[in-house]
Structure 1
Amino acid sequence: MLKKILFMLLFAGVFIISACGTADTQEEQELGEENVVQSDEEENADGSDLWSEIEESGEITAATSGTLIAASYYNDDDELTGYDVEVMKEIANRLGVEVSFEIMGIDSMLSAINSGRVDLAVNDIEITDGRKEQFNFSDPYKYSFSTMVVRKDDYSGIHSLEDLAGKKAGGGATTIYSQIAEHYGAEIVTYGNANNEAYLRDVHNGNTDVIVNDYYLSTFGVGAFPDFDIMIHPELQFHPTQQGVIMPKGEDRLTEIINQTLAEMREDGTLSELATRFYGEDASEPFEGEIEEITDLDL
C-alpha cells in the first residue's frame, strides 16, 4: 500500500504538463540565429570540441526533469531513474566517463544546452525538423506516437481527429500535443502547475473532454487512476514520434560517438531490456501498428 501511495505521489504532475512533446517556446524562438544556431566555423573557431572537453574532465552533464514517469523520475528510494536516465547512464559508462544530471524544466533545457550549462539533454525529447535546424540529435532510442485519453462511456464523442472540433482538451499551453488539438478545433484548457489527477479527473467528470499525449505516458496516467471513467482511445493512433539525445549544433563528433554507443546498446539488447523494464513494451523499436500521419500541420 505504501508503495502504491508513493507511486501516486511521484506520478503527480508528470505526463500532461511535462516535456515529452513540448514545442519550441517563445523564449527559444526569440533567441535567433546568433544565439541558437551557430555555424560549425563559429562553434569551433577556437579549436574547441565538446567531446574532448568531456574526455578531459571525465564527466558529461545531462539535463533532465526528474518528474517524467517512466522516462526521468525519482523512485521510492529517492534515486533518479527512468528509461532516458538509465540510457544516459549506460552511454556514459561505456564511454568511460561519469554522468552528472542537472534537474530542470523542459523550457530551460534547450537554453541550457546553448549556454553551455549542460552538454546535452535527455527527457523524452521529440526529434523534429525544426529542432534539428538548431541542435544536433542522436539516432532515436525511443519510438512512440500520440493518442488520446477519453471517457469510457462515450469516447468523449471523439472517433476521429476531426471530432476534436469544439471539444475541451486539457494540456500544456506550449506542447506539440496541444498544437495538434488546437489545429483540429479544440479549446485548450491549461492548469498551471496542477498535477495529473486534476487533468484526468476533469475528463472523468466532464469538465474537459480529452487529453492528447504520448501513448506510453498516457498509458501510465490512465493506469494510475483505475476508478476514473477514462481510457486510452482504442481507435486513434497518430503523429508517430522519435525521441533522442539533444546536443549543441555542430558537435558532430560527440553525436557520432553517442550514435555508435547507442548502436552497440541496440545490437546487444540493452535498449530493448531497458525499454521493456520501464514501459512494459519495447519502445526502443518502431511501433508496428498503423499510425496516422498529420501532414497539414507544421509542428
Structure 2
Amino acid sequence: MKKHFKITALLMVILLMATVLFGCAQKETSQNNQSQQQTNQQNNNSNQPVDTVEAIKKAGKLVVGTSADYPPFEFHDISSGKDVIAGFDIDLAEAIAKELGVELEIKDMSFDTIISAVLTKKVDMGIAGFTITEERKKSVNFSIPYIQGGQQIITYKGSGITGKDDLKGKTVGVQLGTTGEEIAKKIEGAKLKQFDKVDTAVLDLLNKKVDAVIVDFAVAKAYASQNSDKLELVGNLLDDAAKAVVLRKEDEKLLEVVNKVITDLKNSGELDKMVQKWFVEFKPKQ
C-alpha cells in the first residue's frame, strides 16, 4: 500500500513539474513572439518613406539649396545695403514655401554640390537653374519644367567668334558642374577654363582672359544687356534645355506640391510676370 502511495505521489510531482515547465516554455515563446513582432514593426516603420511635406511643415521652414552667382536666376543683391539672395528661382522658392505655409531658408553653395546636398538631406530641394538631363535623372527627380532655355555663347565684341565652329583653339569659360561645361567639352579644339562662379567667368571675358563663355541664354542676355558696348551673344542656342526643380526620388508628395505651384503660376499668368521681371527688366550689376 505504501509502495502504491509513493508511486502515485511521484507521478503527481512529475506531472506538476511538467506543467510548470510547459507553462514557462509557453511564456518564453510568447515573449519571443512579442519581441519579434515589435522588431518587425520597428523594421516596417523604418522602411516606411518619410513624409517630407509633413516634416517641412513641422519644422516650419523649407530649406532650398542654390548657387547665388547666376543672375537672373539667383544672385546676391546688395542694392538695399543688405546682402540678400534674390532672383527668378528665389521667387519660385518663395511661392513653394507659401504653398506649404512655412518660411523659406536659402542655403548658398557651389552649384556642383547641390544635388549631393539634396541626396544627403542637407536641403529639401535644389533650385538653381537646373537643366533636365538623363544623367541627373538617374539620381534625382525633376519637377515639371518652369522655364525653357538653352546654352548660349557670349563673347567680347571684336573677338571674331560668330558661333560654335569658331571656338576651336579658343579659351572658353564655363561653370563647374553645368550643362554648359558638358557642351564645351564636346567642342573640338576648344580649351576649357572652369570657374566656380559665373560672374568670375564673365569678368575674365570682359578682361579678355577668355575668348567666350557658355551659359544659359537668360544669363548671357542679362550680362550682354548690362555690358552692351563690350559683350554680345553669337550663334544659335547650343541645346534646348528646360529648367526644373531637383528633388529626391522618394519625395513624391513634395514633388506634387512643387508641380502644383508651377502649374498655378503658369495658369495665373504670374510666371509670365516673373519672366518679364527677371529676364527682360533686370540688369545685373558687374
- TM-score normalised by structure 1 residue count: 0.70
Change (3 A) 1:238 1:107: closer
Could you say which residue in structure 2 is the equivalent of 1:99?
Answer: 104
Paired residue type of 2:191: E
The secondary structure found in structure 2 opposite 1:124 is coil
Q: Cα RMSD (Å) of the superposition?
A: 2.6
Matches within 5 A, 1:120-131: 120-131=125-136
- Structure 1 or 2: larger helix share? 2
Could you say which residue in structure 1 is the equivalent of 2:277?
Answer: 277
Q: Does 1:52 align with 2:54?
A: yes
Choose 1 or 2 for highest CA Rg.
2
Bigger RCO (CA 8 Å, 6+ sep) = 1
Q: Does 1:232 align with 2:237?
A: no
Q: Could you tell me how far apart the structure 1 residues matched to 2:207 and 2:47 are?
A: 53
The share of aligned pairs that are identical, in percent, is 21
CA contact under 8 A between 2:132 and 2:241: conserved in structure 1? yes
Match for residue 119 of structure 1 among 100, 104, 124: 124
Q: Report the CA distance between 1:141 and its aligned residue.
A: 0.9
Q: Report the CA distance between 1:99 and its aligned residue.
A: 1.6
Matches within 5 A, 1:1-299: 45-75=47-77, 76-77=79-80, 78=82, 79-153=84-158, 155-156=160-161, 158-159=162-163, 161-185=164-188, 186-190=190-194, 195-203=200-208, 207-228=209-230, 230-233=231-234, 235-280=235-280
Q: Could you tell me how far apart the structure 1 residues matched to 2:196 and 2:67 are?
A: 17
CA contact under 8 A between 1:61 and 1:99: conserved in structure 2? yes
CA contact under 8 A between 1:62 and 1:101: conserved in structure 2? yes
The secondary structure found in structure 1 opposite 2:150 is strand
CA contact under 8 A between 1:164 and 1:181: conserved in structure 2? no
Q: Report the CA distance between 1:248 and its aligned residue.
A: 1.0
Paired residue type of 1:68: Y
Q: Could you tell me how far apart the structure 1 residues matched to 2:228 and 2:252 are?
A: 46
Q: Could you tell me how far apart the structure 1 residues matched to 2:210 and 2:85 are?
A: 33
The secondary structure found in structure 1 opposite 2:145 is coil
Any unmatched runs of 5+ in structure 1?
A: 1-41, 282-299
CA contact under 8 A between 2:96 and 2:261: conserved in structure 1? yes
Q: Report the CA distance between 1:47 and its aligned residue.
A: 4.1
Q: Could you tell me how far apart the structure 2 residues matched to 1:221 and 1:90 are?
A: 26
Cα offsets for 1:114-166 (capped at 9, x unmatched): 1111111111111111111111111111211111113433642x44x333322
Cα offsets for 1:96-119 (capped at 9, x unmatched): 222211121212211211111111
Q: Could you tell me how far apart the structure 2 residues matched to 1:278 and 1:173 are?
A: 23
Q: Could you tell me how far apart the structure 1 residues matched to 2:258 and 2:178 are?
A: 27
Could you say which residue in structure 2 is the equivalent of 1:8?
Answer: none
The secondary structure found in structure 2 opposite 1:108 is helix
CA contact under 8 A between 1:92 and 1:98: conserved in structure 2? yes
